Structure 1
Amino acid sequence: MTVMHVLWMGIRRNGWLVVALAVLVLLFISSSMTFHQQNAAPLLERILANKPAYNLVARIHWHYAGSSVSVASEGYFGVIQFLIRKLAHFGSYFVLGLSLYMGTRRHIPAWWLRVVMVPLTCAGCAALDEFHQMLTGDRSPLFQDVILDTTGAVCGMLVVMLILLAFRRRRALN
């Protein structure tokens, strides 16, 4: 067997863990960037120049990590950017939770242990990510983001568990 063949077999066998590793690498790269490097407001101003759904966005008003988020305080594009950033938090950890649960099925057969391990691992990764942001200039680590990230991971894990349960039940009926 060639080295490439062995590598390919490992990726096929542990594909979900490769996905989890890719998410972690992307999170590390993202948290290494300053806020100004990630600032999407100028791009949003070009793409959304006519401010679609302005009336809907103008109704958004909540407090997050001690700050007010609204069109009055952040502007239309600031609110849109905030929503995109928080959806990115939730979404990336959703994929991380899903892929870790799937990737550890072969290595940790006890489902209940994975149900404990995956959220704790994701929460630890989220906390380390926020710590890394603290070391990066022009970034603010937020405990609320750790909660949001962990919630995304738990949701990803629950979705894949429900899908697996549905497949198992369907197979049992046939």
Structure 2
Amino acid sequence: MRWGDEVKGLFKNSNLYLVIAFIIMGILFYSSSQTYEEQSQLGLLQRLLVDEPFKERLSGISFVYASEEVSIQARGYFSFIEFFIRKGAHFGTYFLLSTSWVIGLKPRINQLGLTVIVSWLAATGYAALDELHQMFTGGRSPLFQDIALDSIGALTAAVLCLVIIGWKSRKK
């Protein structure tokens, strides 16, 4: 079986990928309904990283995100590490959401470029709605920077899908 056939097979299960997209959106909605404290992984990080590995190397990193300094000096070691885990989750979740939309919508739209744009915009739009939802959750605040990060994760996935699917479809 050629790889192009595998890509076609992937689209035969497009309904599954739409279901996955909605599951991801449900998980994001639930997550946004939790307070920051309910989501905190500081206790787990303190148990897992008790020796504070790489603290010296990481101490030189400092930048501003949403008008707040992000550094070990400003936040402490464990909150600094958790910041990157949280932001990685933002990027990764919207990467998966956009990928699911592309694979789920491609057979319905049938134009790869338009599918990629619609998928990216759908994921970015949901990111904005998700941040809006956080306005109504105690202890949470919506951040434009998080929408931008989510959108970059979604765009990265959409462009990768465009390149991979486009390349494989031309190769047959």
Structure with bigger RCO (C-alpha 8 Å, 6+ apart): 2
Q: In the alignment, what sits opposite 2:5?
A: none
Q: C-alpha displacement at 1:42, in angstroms?
A: 1.2
CA, structure 1 residues 95+78, in 2 after alignment: closer, same or farther (shift >3 Å)?
same
Contact 2:116-2:162 at 8 Å conserved across structures:
no
CA, structure 1 residues 165+26, in 2 after alignment: closer, same or farther (shift >3 Å)?
same
Runs of 4+ in structure 1 over 6 Å off:
none
Percent identical among aligned pairs is: 41
Distance in 2 of aligned mates of 1:81 and 1:122: 24
Distance in 1 of aligned mates of 2:110 and 2:57: 46
Q: In the alignment, what sits opposite 1:64?
A: 65
| Of 14-23 and 74-83, the range deviating more from structure 2 | 14-23
SS of 2:63's partner is strand
Which amino acid letter does the alignment assign opposite residue 151 of structure 1? I
User: Please, which runs of 5 or more residues in structure 1 have no aligned partner?
Assistant: 1-10
Q: In the alignment, what sits opposite 1:74?
A: 75
Q: In the alignment, what sits opposite 1:92?
A: 93
Q: In the alignment, what sits opposite 1:146?
A: 147
User: Please, which runs of 5 or more residues in structure 2 have no aligned partner?
Assistant: 1-11
Q: C-alpha displacement at 1:38, in angstroms?
A: 0.6
CA, structure 1 residues 13+97, in 2 after alignment: closer, same or farther (shift >3 Å)?
closer
Root mean square deviation of aligned Cα: 1.5
SS of 1:14's partner is helix
Matched, 1:20 2:21: yes
Contact 1:54-1:76 at 8 Å conserved across structures:
yes
SS of 1:56's partner is helix
Report how many aligned residue pairs link the two structures. 161
TM-score (norm 2): 0.88
TM-score (norm 1): 0.87
Contact 2:95-2:156 at 8 Å conserved across structures:
yes
Matched, 1:29 2:36: no
1:105-136 residue CA offsets vs partner (Å, 9 max, x unmatched): 11111222223212221111001100111100
| Of 124-133 and 54-63, the range deviating more from structure 2 | 54-63
Q: In the alignment, what sits opposite 1:3?
A: none
